[in-house]
Amino acid sequence: MKICPACYAIFVDNKWTFNEDLRGKAMQKREWERCLCPGCDRVAKGRIDGVVHLKGKFLASHKEEAKNLIRRVAEDKLKKNIAARIAHIEEKNDEIVIETTDRALAERLGKEFGKAYHGSLEIQRQKESAFARVYWRRD
Ligand SMILES: [Zn+2]
């Protein structure tokens, strides 16, 4: 069995997944090898497919809520796509910038912010490109 040393995902039945039980058993029996999963591999290589800019006064006064929403969206997406990760988050007073390894994750983050908190949302995507820039703002 392959185990990702960075996030502890396991490769079993031809796909990457999270399963503490199976991972524990494989490690005990030493029947495993280290191998970065596609998500950690993208993070390690610095492959960024989306950047989300969250900005505005509303954000400054709802930081914790916003971070919980980011976490929830990322966890949801990870269940569907092991390669969709948040590579980096930078926080300033009224701004959070999130770099993702997956365009769909960046777009989902923007849409979920729009759904939860309204504000304005703009998604810039180049045709045929895997990269998106997402701007959400509420003052
Ligand atoms: Zn991993």
Residue 9 CA to residue 40 CA, distance in Å, equals 10
Q: According to the model, what pLDDT value does residue 126 have? A: 78
Q: According to the model, what pLDDT value does residue 127 have? A: 77
pLDDT in tens, 52-63: 999 999 999 999
Ligand 1 centroid, distance to 4 Cα (angstroms): 5
Q: Compute the average pLDDT of residues 60-74.
A: 96
The residues spanned by each domain of the chain are 2-35, 47-137
Residue 117 CA to residue 80 CA, distance in Å, equals 24
When the pLDDT of each residue in the chain is averaged and rounded to a whole number, the result is: 95
Ligand 1 centroid, distance to 44 Cα (angstroms): 10
pLDDT in tens, 13-37: 999 999 999 999 999 998 899 999 9
Q: Compute the average pLDDT of residues 45-72.
A: 96
pLDDT at residue 4 is higher than 80: yes
> Smallest Cα–Cα separation from 19: which of 36, 4, 29, 34?
4
Ligand 1 centroid, distance to 82 Cα (angstroms): 8
Q: What percent of the chain has pLDDT over 70?
A: 100
Q: According to the model, what pLDDT value does residue 94 have? A: 92
User: ∠ at Cα 137 (110, 114), nearest 5°?
Assistant: 40
Q: What percent of the chain has pLDDT over 90?
A: 93
Ligand 1 centroid, distance to 41 Cα (angstroms): 7
Q: What's the pTM value of the predicted model, to 2 decimals?
A: 0.91
Q: According to the model, what pLDDT value does residue 84 have? A: 97
Ligand 1 centroid, distance to 7 Cα (angstroms): 4
Q: Compute the average pLDDT of residues 108-128.
A: 94
Ligand 1 centroid, distance to 93 Cα (angstroms): 31
Ligand 1 centroid, distance to 6 Cα (angstroms): 5
Side by side, the strands of the sheet bearing 33-34 are 15-17, 10-12, 2-3, 33-34
